[in-house]
């Protein structure tokens, strides 16, 4: 049988302590690193069920276990190794514009681009922080 500890605080032997709320709330609840060029391929992930390629520079990441609401924090990064220009990653909508629209408790629609247009990116990361359902 697996052991189970129910506690409000975790304290080190040196006396430094941290509330378990920091451990639970501060832990990322889902993350994924994927290649967004060609056939989208996940390199590594946690609590992510899929990455959908919606269009050039447009993807949807879907969490396996949903968040409690759509108000969680989301951070991302996009890079194009070897490209002549950098890439950026923003939250977008189904049509690929930069407007926030349609985040759900599981899904984030994100868009990547270069400095002139939407474009696929080689390395894209998406991280969710917040409360799980």
- Contact set for another protein, span 99-128 (CB under 8 A): 113-115, 122-123, 125-127
Minimum CB–partner distance for residue 1 and another protein (Å): 9
Return the number of the residue (85 or 100) whose C-beta is nearest another protein.
Answer: 85
Cα–Cα–Cα angle for 25, 28, 30, nearest 5°?
130
Minimum CB–partner distance for residue 53 and another protein (Å): 18
32 CB burial (10 A radius; 0-12, 13-18, 19+): buried
Q: Give the span between the Cα atoms of 107 and 100, in whole angstroms.
A: 13
Please provide residue 95's backbone torsions phi and psi, each rounded to the nearest 5 degrees. Answer: -95, 0
List Cβ neighbours of 101 (8 Å cut-off, separation of 6 or more): 92, 93, 94, 109
Size of the site for another protein (CB under 8 A): 55
Asked if 49 touches another protein (CB under 8 A), the answer is no
Asked if 41 touches another protein (CB under 8 A), the answer is no
Residues making contact with another protein (CB under 8 A):
2-3, 5-14, 17, 23-29, 31-33, 43-47, 65, 68, 75-88, 113-115, 122-123, 125-127, 131-133
């Amino acid at each position: 049988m697996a052991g189970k500890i129910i506690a409000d605080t975790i304290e080190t032997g040196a006396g430094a302590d941290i509330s378990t709320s920091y451990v639970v709330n501060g832990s990322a609840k889902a993350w994924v690193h994927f290649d967004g060029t060609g056939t989208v391929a996940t390199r590594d992930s946690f609590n992510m069920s899929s990455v959908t390629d919606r269009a050039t520079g447009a993807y949807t990441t879907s969490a396996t276990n949903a968040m409690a609401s759509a108000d969680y924090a989301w951070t991302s990064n996009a890079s194009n190794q070897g490209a002549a220009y950098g890439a950026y990653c923003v939250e977008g909508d189904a049509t690929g514009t930069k407007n926030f629209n349609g985040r759900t408790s599981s899904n984030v629609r994100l868009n990547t681009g270069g400095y002139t247009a939407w474009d696929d990116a080689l390395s894209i990361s998406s991280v969710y922080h917040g409360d799980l359902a």
